[in-house]
A and B are shown apart, each in its own frame.
Chain A
Amino acid sequence: MSRSDCGAGIVLDSVGMTFGGDNPVTALRDIDLTIPTGQFLAVVGPSGCGKSTLLRLVSGLLEPTDGTISVHGKTPEEARRDVEFGFVFQDPVLFPWLRALGNVLLPGRILGSRSPTHGPHTEQLARRLLMDVGLDGFEEHYPAEMSGGMQSRVALARALIYRASTLLMDEPFGALDEFTRDRLNLQLLDVWEKARATVIFVTHSIQEAIFLADRVTVLSPRPGRIVRVARVPFPRPRPLDLRFEPEFGSLARELRALLETDTTMGAS
């Protein structure tokens, strides 16, 4: 299938990012990473290690201070200008003056005919997405009238509606209870398998990373470096109780041990 026709994909070549200012902070260092087209990559790492920064670099919102990034053969800015990214930010970033439905429709309003889902059925599609994320009945609610977890689900629907070829997700389910999280994980895999999108998924949950991803990248504490890229061996579709399998548990333990080891270890 197309998952192996990589050629392009997303390639980070010794990427580093140092924020200037009075006290410069090196957020990322020596990141070498290739994500083949259609692959689901999860990123885990301690708070402040540069995960959000990594997504901003890939999407061209920030420029790396070292190294180069290419996205399907383009620079990140070019790819961003071609609207190749669906981005779920760490905060929901909803527009308070738009209702849930309006927020999900926002990309279509901005993109117009540049959106592949442009057309008379856009609103129907938005309602379907809201239903998929469990928000039917809340279409006409304003963000202020929804809980944090509900807001982040609206943000997810908004990122999915224009079927971007690359999905960058920054802890999209961080604010959700376990059951909703499970449901949305399955939903996300469903979307991903249909759309063949390339996904970079940042999470604090090792379990979630293993359950979802083809590969899991573990970052070290700041400055973030790649400690390990673990291949997840489980076939798809994956059942929810996969996580009770011994193999799943041992991979999770292994990755957790990496996160707990000393900061000075650096890349392996």
Chain B
Amino acid sequence: MVPAAFLALLALVIWQLVVVAADVPAYIVPSPTEIGQELVAKGPSLVSDLGWTMLEAVTGFLIGSGVAFATAVVFVHVPIVERAAFPWAIVLQTIPIVAIAPLLTIWFGYTLVPKVAIAAIICFFPVLVNTTRGLRSVSSQAMELMRVLSARKASIFWRLRLPSSLSYVFAGLRVAATLSVIGSIVAEFTGADRGIGFVIVQASYRIDTRLMFAAIALSSLGGIVFFHLIGWIERATLRWPEARQHNS
């Protein structure tokens, strides 16, 4: 944490020095202090826009991850469904969301739906892949133990598969958390009346580079906070020693 903050500070200082020394105009690259002033000046409205974007991102994240998790559970228990559906999950993953976003905006207008949907779609794949792997990561010996105990499927799931999968699931969720913010911003580009994506588009029309940088910084902050929130939940949930090694 401290080294990372130091690196950031170093980068900001160099940035400031270069911009000032080379006399780069603010509409091309503003200096960190100018961006800071912008953040302070537009603070309240930017934070409210960020709030909307995060609301979309988190909602999409919950829906996309939830559906992905349920799909993974089905995949693991009914392999034929996996063989039928997984190729299409890959197809869904390869379609650029930039291409789907305008479509969804045509269908659903300037509502929350396209943003939430894009965030959900972008979260789906990493969570699906990681959860499927995690649910399969059960050792054959542990499975034999369950068979000796004549455990039912439900009990194998809750007592063995789910706990073995959790480190994988959280790895997927952390990736999904950052992606979901990107997803909702991209959806906002294609039609919105608020949110960080909307601010960025508006600022770009006015070549308001300072505002753009401020908005970008805030959206990145949102993603970082979300990422660490998931990490914090993981540490609070997975308390056994091996799990701690993975996520510390």
Cβ–Cβ < 8 Å partners of B149 in chain A: 83, 106-107, 110-111
CA distance A145 to B145 in the complex (A): 22
A95 and B148 within 8 A (CB): no
B148 touches which one: A80, A91, A142 (CB < 8 A)?
A80
Cβ–Cβ < 8 Å partners of B148 in chain A: 59, 61, 80, 83, 85-87
B105 smallest CB distance to A (angstroms): 44
Please tell me if A97 contacts chain B, counting CB pairs below 8 Å. Answer: yes
Please tell me if B144 contacts chain A, counting CB pairs below 8 Å. Answer: yes
B237 smallest CB distance to A (angstroms): 10
Question: Of all chain A residues, which has the CB nearest B241?
Answer: A144
B145 and A96 within 8 A (CB): no
CA distance A81 to B142 in the complex (A): 17
B202 smallest CB distance to A (angstroms): 49
Question: Of all chain B residues, which has the CB nearest A162?
Answer: B149
Top 8 nearest A-B pairs by Cβ distance?
A144-B241, A87-B148, A97-B240, A93-B141, A97-B163, A110-B151, A110-B149, A83-B150
A-B contact count (CB 8 A): 59
Which A residues form the contact surface with B (CB < 8 A)?
56, 59, 61, 80-83, 85-87, 89, 91, 93, 95-98, 106-107, 109-111, 114, 142, 144-145
CA distance A56 to B139 in the complex (A): 16
- Please judge, given known A-B contacts A80-B150, A83-B149, A111-B149, whether A89 and B144 are in contact too, CB under 8 Å: yes
CA distance A96 to B239 in the complex (A): 10
For B146, B147, B148, the residue with the greatest tally of chain A CB atoms inside 10 Å of its CB is B148
A144 touches which one: B146, B155, B160, B240 (CB < 8 A)?
B240
A93 and B142 within 8 A (CB): yes
A61 and B238 within 8 A (CB): no
- Please judge, given known A-B contacts A61-B144, A95-B160, whether A81 and B241 are in contact too, CB under 8 Å: no
- Please judge, given known A-B contacts A106-B159, A109-B159, whether A93 and B145 are in contact too, CB under 8 Å: yes
CA distance A98 to B151 in the complex (A): 17
